[in-house]
Amino acid sequence: MLVPLEGDRYWVLAEYWQAFSDPRADSWQYFTGDRAVVDDDGYVTIIGRNDDVITIGNRRIGTAELEAAITTVDGVTEAAAVAERTIGETALCVFATLEQGQQDRTAIQDAVADAVAEHVGEFARPANVVFTPELPETYSGKTMYKLLERIVNDRLPTDSDALRNPEVVGELTTIWNQE
C-alpha cells in the first residue's frame, strides 16, 4: 500500500515504513539498518549494520564487535569475521591484515583468539585465523563479507566487478585452501 508523505510529493511503501513508525501519531521514520550508540557527551558512534551478525551457539554477535576485539591485538591493522558453516555447527573465521614486518604469526593467531574470547566470550573463539595482505573492498572501502563467506564455505566467489581490489579474491582463495 502506498501512503502520501509531505502532501502528494512523496509516496512510500507503508509496509516498509510501518515497522519503524507510529502512523497513529503521524510519526514516520526511516530505518537505515545501521547500529549506533550515543555516548554521555551526545556523540554517535556507528558500530555496524544490523545485518552484519554471526550466529554462534545460539548467540548473535555483531561483526563490528568481533573486529573491534581483534584489532586490539598488536600488529593487526584490519580484520573481518565471517561464519564458517559445517554440518550441525557454525564456527568463526577471521581474516586479518598485519602491520608490515610482523613475523610471529603463530603468536598473533593465539593473541587474536584470546582477544575474542576475552572481549566477546569463549564461545566465540575463532576456529581459524587467516592472514591476508588485504581484505576485499568495494570502491567506497566497505569489506565484502559475502565474498569471504563464500570462500570459507567452499563456494566459488561471485562476480568481483564491484571490488576496488579484485585480484585479492584469487589470493584469498589460495590462502584459505592452504590452511
Q: Given this model, what pLDDT does residue 114 score?
A: 96
Share of the chain above pLDDT 70, in %: 72
Asked whether residue 37 is assigned to any structural domain, the reply reads no
Cβ neighbours of 48 (radius 10 Å)? 18
133 with 77: CB under 8 angstroms?
no
Whole domain around residue 18: which residue ranges?
2-31
CA–CA separation, 58 vs 95, rounded Å? 23
pTM of the model: 0.68
Grid coordinates representing 41 are 557527551
136 with 97: CB under 8 angstroms?
no
Q: Are residues 23 and 56 in the same domain?
A: no
Please say if the pLDDT value at position 169 is more than 90.
Answer: no
Asked whether residue 38 is assigned to any structural domain, the reply reads no
pLDDT tens readout for residues 3-16:
444 444 444 445 55
Asked whether residue 41 is assigned to any structural domain, the reply reads no
Asked whether residue 40 is assigned to any structural domain, the reply reads no
Please say if the pLDDT value at position 153 is more than 80.
Answer: yes
Highest mean predicted confidence (pLDDT) among 37-41, 74-78, 145-149, 152-156: 74-78
Please say if the pLDDT value at position 161 is more than 80.
Answer: no
Q: Given this model, what pLDDT does residue 74 score?
A: 92
Answer with the residue of higher pLDDT: 19 or 147: 147
Asked whether residue 45 is assigned to any structural domain, the reply reads no
